[in-house]
Amino acid sequence: ETGVTQSPTHLIKTRGQQVTLRCSSQSGHNTVSWYQQALGQGPQFIFQYYREEENGRGNFPPRFSGLQFPNYSSELNVNALELDDSALYLCASSHPGHNSPLHFGNGTRLTVT
């Protein structure tokens, strides 16, 4: 069983640039969620995708957008990067349903300078 994989592991960008982060879900999982974790904080929910449709969104501006593909892999896109976007971005996959455990990848560490 292949776990959740994220790429790249680390990324450095300049303020104002755009970035795309990628996530491959665990085999058999059709739901993908993205979280932002600032240093020393708990993860914050960005959005969730189920069967290629956005299925819930947290308190993040529209410059945070996403996609889910037919193979259930997913992308997180962030436009007009700001210094406060520096964080660990975590992807999690699961089966649908509230009582399905989430399986997290190791994250992408984004630094905005």
Partner 1 sequence: KQEVTQIPAALSVPEGENLVLNCSFTDSAIYNLQWFRQDPGKGLTSLLLIQSSQREQTSGRLNASLDKSSGRSTLYIAASQPGDSATYLCAVISNQGGKLIFGQGTELSVKP
Name the site residues for partner 1 (rule: CB under 8 A): 4, 6, 33, 35, 40-45, 48, 55-56, 58, 88, 90, 92, 98-99, 101-107, 109
Q: Compare residues 18 and 29 and give the one whose CB is closer to partner 1.
A: 29
In the complex, the smallest distance separating the C-beta of residue 6 from partner 1, rounded to whole angstroms, is 8
Q: Compare residues 6 and 68 and give the one whose CB is closer to partner 1.
A: 6
Q: Compare residues 67 and 88 and give the one whose CB is closer to partner 1.
A: 88
Helix (H) or strand (E) holding 97, with range, is none
Q: How far is CA 90 from CA 4, 107, in A?
A: 10, 4
CA distance 78 to 17: 9
Burial class (CB in 10 A: 0-12, 13-18, 19+), 61: exposed
Peptide bond into 43 cis (omega under 30): no
> CB of 85 within 8 A of CB of 77?
no
In the complex, the smallest distance separating the C-beta of residue 92 from partner 1, rounded to whole angstroms, is 8
In the complex, the smallest distance separating the C-beta of residue 21 from partner 1, rounded to whole angstroms, is 13
In the complex, the smallest distance separating the C-beta of residue 63 from partner 1, rounded to whole angstroms, is 20
